[in-house]
Structure formats: structure tokens, C-alpha cells
Amino acid sequence: MLVHQRNCPVVVEHDHRIADLWRAARDRVEATASLKLARYRHVITTMIALADDLSISDQTFRERVRAVAAPFAGELMGNRSAAIRQELSSQSRTVRPLLKQMMDVPLDLPAGHPLATALPVLRAIYAADGRSLPKGVANPFPRVWSPLIECAATPETALGAFEAATLMMLKRSLRNGSASTRQSLTYRGQQDILIPAAVWDREQDRLTGELGLPGSIDALVTGLHDTLQASLRSLAAAVAEGVVFVEQDRLRIPRLKADPEPPDVTALRNEITAATGPVQLPDLLVQVDSQVRFSWILLGRSPHNERELYTLYCALLAQGSNLSAADLARMVDGPSADSIGWFMRTLEEEGRLRQASDAVVDYLRSHKIASQWGEGLFVSSDMMSLEATRHLWSARLDPRRRTYAVGTYTHVLDQWPIIYDQPIVLNRRQAGAAIEGAMRQRHVELEKLAVDTHGFTHFAMALAKLLGFDLCPQLADLGDRKLFVPRGIEIPDVLLPITERLTLGNTARRGWDSLVRIAASINGGWCSATTVLDLYGAAAKDNPAYECGNTLGKLLRTIYLCDLLGNPGFRRELQRVLNQGETVHELQRAIHNGPIGARHGRSRQELVAISGALTLLTNVVMAWNTAQMQRLAEDRWAGRLPAALARIAPVGFAHINLRGMFNFSLGALHHHLIESSAEPRMRRA
């Protein structure tokens, strides 16, 4: 399978720094926009005054207009992106050192690639300590760079534009895999991350059969014709019934009204709260651990004594909250900061936190009440940002909170527990993380995965379908979405204004085998969905595999939209599952309610431990709440579960003391946790 190797730090840092340079150039362009607007208004006013001056000749008028407009000739280059490119071209002082660093990294480039021409030119210039672009150097870059390179005022400014174009081409090429380096695990070539070609040639039929896929994209699309036709009719019927509307060539979708909470639900919630009473977080941890023995999983054995167990609990709290080892040492009598820190490093060992969390999830789902919340087939995924110092390599600016943060991406089952988590970088497409978590979780045969707009692309929707589940996105600008329908499918008249014909081109057909190979590689663990979606994003346009996945994704999104808009019940279910994820995030923020410091989260292993510990603590709280609700049902209703329980979530935390002086005490549960012969009990639902 995957061969682990170290990432080349220059290449890893390269992507971040280029993004920072582009962002800084964009900010400068936006900051000067208002000033430029005032200057443009002055020019227009002057031109109007010249036009009204009947005393001057036509020749004089033209000469004065040219003189007024001359200072703006270099700015008349189009849209904001053109202005940003021009601004970036003037930043040779920051662009050039970054390019010089990349000169020492061996890149694999196909023949005819723009970088194969540009990099040798720059190497020769840098070797001669040049400051200008030599005459006769051809422009290998897209036409958008031509005005800056070919029409530059001086050879010096032409070199600045050439360097900026090289930098942006390098970023895009590494992203889409057309350029690669074997020194980096992240930026390997497309063929290097997939099932080896020899294995694929030998096992293609078997691997395709395991995925249940036909031999061609045409066969798959033909098999979807009946489903698509029925979905179009369903949406047309919904339009006829006034459920949705088609107005001025766009959809208008009335907002769903929130269902009022029945009085019996409110009364039952109050009864559960009163019966549960307040609880200290240490007692909660001990009680759940006595049932699951997640501490045994974290240690790999039974705790030797109570002090070791308490120190482990403190380390778990320090990893999963904003508290440090020193904070926990002051809050708990006994464990020292050094011993807590040692256990924190132990928790960073790969797999232990996930195994412990999986055991807690199984314990939660073993209660009958869990079946009231869902069937265990629908999952929502979303990212939650954790505030962090800007000095962490993975910290990015959260656009909503305007603070630096790292992300934890969670998959929440419709029965409430978090079944998978992973740390991610903010401001990156989340579709890969969504599919990766759905594939790697070990609890359910997933049927549907709900994501928000950040977790959706057409390629991701197709990839998810090939892997055996449906991606259900909550799309932004839903009213402007079009339906893509292949030729040969009858379109109801009422839907014609919002429909476009979908053509299955030769490029898409050629990409089918590559697309199936990608899906089989993810399914077999040869690569991650995150890596694949990074390579096959929008930057991979014109790649046959991308075009095949993008075309199939448009068709699947059409079927999904028809079902979503034509069935208000499905819309409510999707919204409910997504809201569950947001509600679980509220509990997570209560547990981790402060920033991650510079001494914590410096490596990926530490970030995985932070995300995993927070997930484990969150699942422990939900499992404890579930157990209390189940106990109340057995005590008061003889095991009969009131229907109102389906609307009461196990995420409450107002009754839990999450801070203060912690006092761990095993009491009668000592023999459940401190013993040397028994094995950890891993309950399965």
C-alpha cells in the first residue's frame, strides 16, 4: 500500500506562501479600489467638460482626451484577477526568493509543459544575477499573462511578470498533478498515488466488479435514465402543486417552516433534566469508562493503579480541551504536569484514540433509545474551527471569526455519535475529507452523506457514487442551479427554462477507466480521497478522468436536486441531519472553549491527537446522557420508549461541570477498571 516518506519542506511550504502572496496582492488591489474610483471619476468629469467646450477643435479634443487617459493605460486590463496579476508582478522582491528555493527541487514535468520552458530560463537569469528578461524569450504561459510579459514597458517589469506567472503555474501544476516531485508525499504524480499500473491491468475486472460498476460510462448513464426520468416527473409534479416554482428561468424554493416543538417533548425534556441532576465531568468519565474501558484501549492494558488512571484522564482532558498539562495538575490532586505531559505524548500514538472513541460509539448505539434517533445509515459531515495561535504552521485565518484557527472535520451519525474525525486546514475544499471519513469509519454501511456547500463538487459527487453512497450537499444559490439532462430523456415543459442538455463527450468516455481506477485506489486504501480531490479539482480541467467525473457528477446532481426539491420530507431529513452536526459542534465548543497555544498542535500527530481526544470526550458525554435517558425509560416506563424521545438529543451539557477543581474517585467501580486479567469490553451494536 502507501509507502510513508517525509514531505519536502520547501514544497509543502511553497503552496502556503504562494497563497499568502496572492492574498496580499488581492488585499492591496481592493484597498486601492476606492482611490482608483475617485481618479476615474475625475477623468470622466474632465472628458465631459472637454466635450462641452465648443471652442476647441476635434483634433485638440482628441489630444487632450489621450493626455488625460494616458496614466490609466496600464490599468485597463480587465477584471480584478488581472489587477491582482499586475500587482503580483510588481512584487519581485518576495516572489524571486521563493522561486530560487524551488530551483533545487527536482520536478517531473511532461514534454511541452510551460514550466519546462520557464524554469530553465529563470535558472539562467539567476545564475547570471540578471534583473531583466532577455529579448526573444517566448511566453509559454496562458494568454492572460501576455499583456504583462509581451507588452511590458521595460525588460525588468517583463521579468517580474514572467516570475509571477511561473509561480502561479507552479502552484496550479502541483495541485493538479501535471507537475510532481518524488521528494514530497503530498505532491507526487497522479500515477504514483494510484494502484500500480501492473496491478490495475491484471486486476481491473475484479476491482471493478467489487465496486459493482459497469464496463463503460455509457452503460452507467443508460442505467440511470429511468431514475432520472422519474425524478424529472416528480419535480414537475411538485411545480404543478406549488411546492416549488419556476419563475424568470430560475427556481424559487419556499423556505420550510420549522415544526413547533410539541408540549409533550418539552415536558419530557424537563423531566429528564430533573431526573439526571448535576454531574461532575470526572464522575462522568469514570462511569462511562467502567462500561467501555476506553482507558484500557488508550493504555493497551489495564491501569496499574488509580494514580495512573487519573493521570491518563488528565492527559485526555489536556489533549481534548484548551487546558494545559500544568492547568490539569493544578485542578487535580496527585498527577504532576510532567506525568500528564508524558501521557499526552502517549495518546499521540496512531490509532489509540480512534479505537477508544469507536468503543464509546458502540456503547452509545447499544442502547435501544439510539434507534429512536435514526436508522444509522445517514451521516452528516462538517468542519469546526478551533481557535489557535497564528504561529502554528497549519493555522489559517477563519473568514467568519476573523481569528487564526485549525479545523477538525467530523462525521456525525444520525444517531448522534461522532463516528470519524480528522484535522484539516481551513479554507480548503472539504469534499475530500468528507469522502475520506465516510470510507474509513468502521460503524455503518453508509447510504447517504450530507455535506454543506464546501463539501461539494461534481467530481466528488461522482466519486462518492462509485464508492457506494450518495453525497447529499446543501447547495448555495439553489435557485440558480440548472438541471443537466442527457439527450434522449424527455424534459417536462415546465422544467425547460431551468434545464441544459448534457453531452457525454469523447474526453469523458476516455476517462472512465481512469476514474474507476481512482475509485478502486481509494476503496483499497492505496490513497486517500483527500489527496485525490486535491489533484482532481478545478485545476485538472481537460483531464479525461476529471471530465468523466464532472459529467457524471452533473447528472447525479440533477437526480439529487429533483428528489430534494420534489420531496419536502427529504429536505427536512437532510436539514435535520446537518443540524445535528451543528448541535454536536456546540458541545465540542463547550469542551474546547479556548485557543490552541504555540506549544500544542505543532505537528500533524499533535493535531490528530487534539481532534481525536475532543471527539472521544464528546462521545463520552453523549454516551453518558444516552445511558441516563435509557435508564429513565426503563425505570418509569418499563422499557417502553415514548415517541417524544426521538426529538430529545443526548448533547445537553448544562448539567455537567466542565471546569473547576476535579476530584476523581472510583469508589465501587474500582474493580471494573483496575484489574489485570480481563480484556476490554468492546460492545458492538
pLDDT in tens, 513-571: 999 999 999 999 998 899 888 888 766 777 899 999 999 999 999 999 999 998 888 99
100 vs 20, which has greater pLDDT?
Answer: 100
Query: Are the C-beta atoms of 419 and 441 separated by less than 8 Å?
Result: yes
Would the pLDDT of 678 be above 60?
no
Q: What is the pLDDT of residue 551?
A: 94
Query: Are the C-beta atoms of 269 and 648 separated by less than 8 Å?
Result: yes
Q: What is the pLDDT of residue 639?
A: 64
Q: What is the pLDDT of residue 1?
A: 38
The C-alpha cell at 680 is: 476490554
Strand ranges inside 396-551, DSSP E: 396-397, 404-413, 418-424, 448-451, 470-473, 483-486, 499-502
Each residue's pLDDT tens digit, 275-324: 888 899 999 999 999 999 999 999 999 999 999 999 999 999 999 988 88
Exposure on the CB side of residue 58, measured as CA atoms within 13 A: 0
Q: What is the pLDDT of residue 415?
A: 95
CA–CA dist 161, 118 (Å, integer): 12
Query: Are the C-beta atoms of 667 and 283 separated by less than 8 Å?
Result: no
Helix extents (H) in 70-216: 80-89, 92-102, 114-127, 146-149, 155-176, 190-193, 197-210
Query: Are the C-beta atoms of 619 and 646 separated by less than 8 Å?
Result: no
Each residue's pLDDT tens digit, 396-445: 888 777 888 999 999 999 999 999 999 998 888 899 999 999 999 999 99
Query: Are the C-beta atoms of 482 and 498 separated by less than 8 Å?
Result: yes
Which helix (H) or strand (E) element contains residue 383?
strand 378-387
Which helix (H) or strand (E) element contains residue 619?
helix 604-637
Q: What is the pLDDT of residue 682?
A: 43
Mean pLDDT of 190-198: 84
Alpha-carbon distance values, 234 to 245, 561, 566 (Å): 13, 11, 6
Instruction: Write the DSSP symbol of residue 32.
Output: T
Query: Are the C-beta atoms of 615 and 421 separated by less than 8 Å?
Result: yes
Of 356-365, 588-597, 636-645, 653-662, which has the strongest mean pLDDT?
A: 356-365
494 vs 110, which has greater pLDDT?
Answer: 494
Q: What is the pLDDT of residue 13?
A: 63
Alpha-carbon distance values, 422 to 7, 438, 620 (Å): 19, 11, 18
Query: Are the C-beta atoms of 435 and 450 separated by less than 8 Å?
Result: no
Mean pLDDT value across the chain: 87
Query: Are the C-beta atoms of 133 and 159 separated by less than 8 Å?
Result: yes
